[in-house]
A and B are shown apart, each in its own frame.
Chain A
Amino acid sequence: QVQLVQSGAEVKKPGASVKVSCKASGYTFTNYDINWVRQATGQGLEWMGWMNPNSGTTDYAQNFQGRVTMTRNTSISTAYMELSSLRSEDTAVYYCARDSYGLDYWGQGTLVTVSS
């Protein structure tokens, strides 16, 4: 069965960076793009970008360009999302999602808290 398992919660100080992982299983990792989506508490979903795990090609939402980097390690079927220059407004749950038949499978989410 397809699963996306994300890394645990993080607490970071303003100005720091965070790297969230998303380990895929149950399918061929390089066959489908991985998208990243975030959700601040009580707010809606915000698309951050996608990465093609086969080629490493990425496409980032305008709001995050210059601050987000999406990478992968195909040997362990894991995608990563790194967000830099963190500010309090980046406090949110971050999700990875596979793009196959739409965004069909989602990770459980990773809470990132930015606080001094």
Chain B
Amino acid sequence: DAKTTQPNSMESNEEEPVHLPCNHSTISGTDYIHWYRQLPSQGPEYVIHGLTSNVNNRMASLAIAEDRKSSTLILHRATLRDAAVYYCILRDLDGFGNEKLTFGTGTRLTIIP
């Protein structure tokens, strides 16, 4: 299984951009890069995903390195509600082509007012 590596924690000031890094040096050509976030006492929620090109949606942007061995989730203007654990995940397939997403420990993002 391809693995991801993220910093355990990060801090950012409110209303400033946040760049959350993720390394996935063993990524395969067909692995999508997913980002989820988990607020306290809740289940994770989907943030964004991508394959090769940079992606933007209403929540965030995803910048993917040209060699795909790393990616960065960008929150353009952090708010206190963005404080959460952010997970970078590679979609995995079992031997039968079935999907599964394996979460690591993620990055705990703290927003400073």
The answer to whether A and B come from one shared complex is no
Q: A residues touching B (Cβ–Cβ < 8 Å)?
A: none
Q: B residues touching A (Cβ–Cβ < 8 Å)?
A: none
